[in-house]
Structure 1
Amino acid sequence: MGAFDAIRPYDDAEVPAVLARLLSDPAFLDILTHFRFPRLAGAFGWLLKPLIARRLRKEFAGVSSVATLQDKVEYYVDRTIDRATDGVTYTGVEQLKAGSAYLFLANHRDIVMDPAFVNYAVYHAGLPTPRIAIGDNLLQKPFVSDMMRLNKSFIVHRSISGRREKLAAYQLLSAYINHSIRDDGTSIWIAQAEGRAKDGDDRTDSAILKMFHMSRKDEAFGAVIQSLNLIPVSISYEYDPCDQAKARELYIRASTGSYSKVPGEDDNSIALGITGYKGRVHINFAPPVTEYHEDTKQLAQAIDRQILAGYRLFPVHYLAYAMWDQQDTALAVPTADKLFPTDELARAQEEWQRRLEACPVEHRPYLVQQYAMPVRNQYQVKRQAEVA
Structure 2
Amino acid sequence: MSKFDAIRPYYDAEVNQAIQSGINHPILKAMMQFTFPDVEDEVWKTQLRKTHSIRDFQCNFIYEAIQKVLQKSSDGLSTSGFEKLEPNTSYLFISNHRDIILDTSLLNIALFDHGLVMTASAIGDNLVKKDFLKSLSRLNRNFLVQRGLPPRELLQSSQLMSEYMEQLLLRENRSVWIAQREGRTKDGNDATHSGVLKMLAMAAGDRSAIDYFKEIKIVPVSISYEYDPTDALKMPQLMAEANNEIYKKTSNEDFNNILGGILGQKKHIHIHVGDVLNTELETIKLENSNTNKQIQALTQAIDDSILKSYKLWPTNFIAYDLLNATDRFADNYTEQEKSLFERRLEMRIDGKNEQMKESFLAMYANPVVNKLKYYDKL
TM superposition score normalised by structure 1: 0.87
* 1:341-375 deviations in Å (ceiling 9; x for gaps): xxxx2342132111121111222111001000000
Q: Counterpart of 2:374 in 1: which secondary structure? A: helix
Match of 2:106 in 1: 117
Q: Is the 8 A contact 2:317 2:332 kept in 1?
A: no
Match of 1:382 in 2: 375
Match of 1:64 in 2: 52
Q: Counterpart of 1:194 in 2: which secondary structure? A: coil
Kindly tell me: are residues 282 and 256 of structure 1, through their superposed partners in 2, closer, same or farther at Cα, counting changes over 3 Å? same
Q: Is the 8 A contact 2:31 2:65 kept in 1?
A: no
Match of 1:300 in 2: 299
Aligned partner (choices 61, 78, 94) of residue 105 of structure 1: 94
Kindly tell me: are residues 323 and 337 of structure 1, through their superposed partners in 2, closer, same or farther at Cα, counting changes over 3 Å? closer
In structure 1, what is the Cα distance between the partners aligned to 2:236 and 2:157? 32
Match of 1:311 in 2: 310
In structure 2, what is the Cα distance between the partners aligned to 1:59 and 1:355? 41
In structure 1, what is the Cα distance between the partners aligned to 2:248 and 2:34? 27
Q: Quick check: 1:222 aligned with 2:215?
A: no
* 1:131-186 deviations in Å (ceiling 9; x for gaps): 110010101111111101101111111132x2111111000100011111111111
Q: Quick check: 1:129 aligned with 2:130?
A: no
Cα drift, residue 252 of structure 1: 3.0
Kindly tell me: are residues 68 and 34 of structure 1, through their superposed partners in 2, closer, same or farther at Cα, counting changes over 3 Å? closer
In structure 2, what is the Cα distance between the partners aligned to 1:64 and 1:203? 39
Unaligned 5+ runs, structure 1: 38-50, 328-332
In structure 2, what is the Cα distance between the partners aligned to 1:324 and 1:247? 16
Of the structure 1 ranges 60-69 and 366-375, higher mean CA displacement relative to structure 2 is found in: 60-69
* 1:198-254 deviations in Å (ceiling 9; x for gaps): 000000000001111112243211111111110000001000111111123211332
In structure 1, what is the Cα distance between the partners aligned to 2:336 and 2:205? 53
Q: Quick check: 1:92 aligned with 2:81?
A: yes
Kindly tell me: are residues 24 and 30 of structure 1, through their superposed partners in 2, closer, same or farther at Cα, counting changes over 3 Å? closer
Q: Quick check: 1:79 aligned with 2:72?
A: no
Kindly tell me: are residues 71 and 246 of structure 1, through their superposed partners in 2, closer, same or farther at Cα, counting changes over 3 Å? same
Of the structure 1 ranges 356-365 and 346-355, higher mean CA displacement relative to structure 2 is found in: 346-355
TM superposition score normalised by structure 2: 0.90
Match of 2:365, as an amino acid?
A
Kindly tell me: are residues 334 and 188 of structure 1, through their superposed partners in 2, closer, same or farther at Cα, counting changes over 3 Å? farther
Match of 1:45 in 2: none
Aligned partner (choices 339, 345, 350) of residue 360 of structure 1: 350
In structure 2, what is the Cα distance between the partners aligned to 1:120 and 1:310? 20
* 1:25-74 deviations in Å (ceiling 9; x for gaps): 35x3575499689xxxxxxxxxxxxx84x443223131111111112111
Q: Is the 8 A contact 1:85 1:279 kept in 2?
A: yes
* 1:107-154 deviations in Å (ceiling 9; x for gaps): 011100110111111011122311110010101111111101101111
Match of 1:151 in 2: 140
In structure 1, what is the Cα distance between the partners aligned to 2:107 and 2:217? 16
Match of 2:291 in 1: none
Q: Counterpart of 1:82 in 2: which secondary structure? A: helix
Q: What aligned pairs does 1:195-214 form with structure 2 within 5 A after superposition?
A: 195-214=183-202
Unaligned 5+ runs, structure 2: 289-293
Q: Is the 8 A contact 1:23 1:56 kept in 2?
A: no
Match of 1:249 in 2: 237
Match of 1:371 in 2: 364
Q: Counterpart of 2:246 in 1: which secondary structure? A: coil
In structure 1, what is the Cα distance between the partners aligned to 2:219 and 2:249? 32
In structure 2, what is the Cα distance between the partners aligned to 1:230 and 1:303? 9
Match of 1:15 in 2: 15
Kindly tell me: are residues 228 and 357 of structure 1, through their superposed partners in 2, closer, same or farther at Cα, counting changes over 3 Å? same
Q: Counterpart of 2:272 in 1: which secondary structure? A: strand
Q: Counterpart of 2:323 in 1: which secondary structure? A: coil
In structure 1, what is the Cα distance between the partners aligned to 2:35 and 2:102? 19
Q: Is the 8 A contact 1:315 1:336 kept in 2?
A: no
- RMSD, aligned CA: 2.3
Match of 1:110, as an amino acid?
D
Match of 1:10, as an amino acid?
Y
Match of 1:274, as an amino acid?
I
Match of 2:346, as an amino acid?
E
In structure 2, what is the Cα distance between the partners aligned to 1:31 and 1:365? 37
Q: How many residues align?
A: 359
In structure 1, what is the Cα distance between the partners aligned to 2:337 and 2:6? 46
Q: Quick check: 1:337 aligned with 2:337?
A: no
User: Percent of aligned pairs with the same residue?
Assistant: 35
Q: Counterpart of 2:271 in 1: which secondary structure? A: strand
Match of 1:324 in 2: 323
